[in-house]
Amino acid sequence: MKTMVRSPLTPQLLIALFVGVLGVFVGLPLLGLAPAGKLFSVSSAQASPMEIQHPVGPGEDLHLLAAFYYGDARQWKRIYQANRHQIKNPNRIVPKQTLRIVVPDDWQPLMPFSAWMERLRETPPPTEKPAAKEPKQ
């Protein structure tokens, strides 16, 4: 008998994924911070990459970091690829671990990461629509 293991979806992860995906598809601002789901401003000119050393805090995961640094939670693989040597399981990163995150040279956050996380915690989780009832036959 096969057993499926599900990774826990935290409310913060659900919010980050929902807001990031919604922002990408419909152009909504990410938490009202910047246009088109971007949490930072980058000029259209090609910028050389810059490395940020991010100390992981409690409750953080690659999706949340990708939402902050790239404006899209689905970009978590970029962070994972840059840190494969120290991340054994991409679903579990360890607090106090320092991750290397590559961003454009002129990348500037609109607010500090701690303030962004606090704002994310204050945002209510998305509500699910009730399933449509099937007609009786």
- CB-based burial, 33-67: b 16+ in 10 Å, e otherwise: bbeebbbbeeeeeeeeeeeeebebeeebbbbbbbb
Of 123, 131, 9, 24, residue with least CA distance to 75: 24
CB distance 104 to 52 below 8 Å: no
Measure the CA–CA gap between 63 and 4, rounded to whole angstroms: 22
Mapped onto helix, strand or coil, the DSSP state of residue 4 is coil
The pLDDT of residue 18: 58
pLDDT value for 122: 87
In the block, which residue shows the tokens 């810059």?
A: 50
More confident residue, 41 or 108: 108
Q: What pLDDT digit, counting tens, does each position of 54-95 carry?
A: 999 998 999 999 999 999 999 999 999 999 999 999 999 999
Q: Which residue has the higher pLDDT, 4 or 77?
A: 77
Could you give the 3-state DSSP secondary structure of residue 100?
Answer: strand
Each domain of the chain, given as residue ranges in start order, spans 11-41+49-122
Segment 27-58, tens digit of pLDDT = 444 444 444 444 444 444 455 789 999 999 99
